[in-house]
Chain A
Amino acid sequence: VAADLELERRLTQLRARFVVGLDGRRAELRTAWSICTASRACADSQERATLSSALHRLAGAAGAYSFNMLSKRAHALEKLVRSNSCELSTLNMEFTQLIECLSALILSNKVTLPSHCYYRGGVQSRLRNPSSKEKNMELIATPDASDVMLIRLNEAHLDAGNVKEFREIIGPLLDQHARVVFDMSQLRFVDSSGLGSLISCLRQTQERRGDFKLCAMSQPVCALFELMRMHRVFSIHETCEEAKRAFS
């Protein structure tokens, strides 16, 4: 626990340092934007490349530091600038929103960490954080007679925006159950952090001689798993029943 807290502390320091540096990134973007828009509606490819490169770096860095909204805005604008098929007025609006998002972060200069989640056990448990007014992640955990726990995640996305919450909710469950079938029928998108959290679940169960089997994957998620070669890492089944049978 002490080691985890130390890692968290260092990560918080890095995030704070990143926020301090946003001032420089905002200035860089404004300069690149002025030059780009001055050159006949962003038509000059060299100027566009400079602007899209700055946006690309901002999107990547903001994402790595979990400033997801900023990352998404920068990424969206980068795509528009690259495509060069967008009206200047639309670009202007997107750019203004991005700068507002950046400025809000610079002004607040605060690093907020996600709140801890609450879960409760039971025969069938809906696991969510009851203390928050916001909509929270919901996991439905159903044990069966053969000591296999079926867990369904009622979310369309498992990504950097909710992966921490997912880990906090599922972690204690996996401490109690090593034989798990994870129902992915509701999921339509999984990013690298979501995949990473599923790998952690797999390791956690395998360390206790269990398994974390996946089932009912949607087509886009299945395609991503195959491309990332994750289908060779996980035991993946078409239905929950088939996955449960694979334990026997």
Chain B
Amino acid sequence: MKTLRKILCAEDDADIRAILQFSLVTVGNYTLCMCRDGADALKRATAFEPDLILLDAMMPNLTGPEAMRALREIPKLHCTPIVLMSARALPNEIEEVLEYGATGVILKPFDPMILPEYLKIYWGYAQRNCGC
């Protein structure tokens, strides 16, 4: 079975990018492509070919859900699991992004020591349920 190695992540706040880098590279030992917003993620995703994409829900230029819809249009990334990070915990909003095709939602604030575990679970879930 393929393992989770490459993560593409988009987050607009520099401090959160720093803690995400710590969490995903230092704790999780993943190869990371860090993007500044949704548009940047869209630009770099095809060349990087991530195993999983992690997007902040609220970003300038392209929001997380907008970027997710655009990324889903790229044939290479059609089946790549996409996880959104959101500070909003209202069930209907979470349900909405899941309906847009997100594999899962990480509620902010996240624990940087645990985030890699979460992504592994979502990755496993996507692998079991992917029809590609």
A 45-70 binary contact with B (CB < 8 Å = 1; else 0)? 00000000100110111111110100
B15 touches A203 (CB 8 A): no
A202 to B87, CA, bound (A): 25
A192 touches B111 (CB 8 A): yes
> Which partner residue on chain B sits nearest A233 by CB separation?
B121
Chain A residues near B121: list those with CB within 8 A. Answer: 199, 233
Chain A interface residue count, CB cutoff 8 Å, equals 39
Known: A59-B87, A60-B16, A228-B105. A196 touches B117 (CB 8 A): yes
Chain B residues near A195: list those with CB within 8 A. Answer: 107, 118
B 97-119 binary contact with A (CB < 8 Å = 1; else 0)? 01000001111111111110110
> Which partner residue on chain A sits nearest B19 by CB separation?
A64
Chain B interface residue count, CB cutoff 8 Å, equals 35
Known: A199-B117, A199-B118, A227-B98. A63 touches B22 (CB 8 A): no
The DSSP consensus for interface residues of chain A is: helix
A64 touches B112 (CB 8 A): yes
Q: Is A223 an interface residue (CB 8 A)?
A: yes
A71 to B109, CA, bound (A): 8
B117 touches A193 (CB 8 A): no
A:27-83 near B, CB below 8 Å: 53, 56-57, 59-66, 68, 71, 75
A227 to B104, CA, bound (A): 9
B107 touches A61 (CB 8 A): no
B98 to chain A, nearest CB (A): 7
A:203-226 near B, CB below 8 Å: 203, 223-224
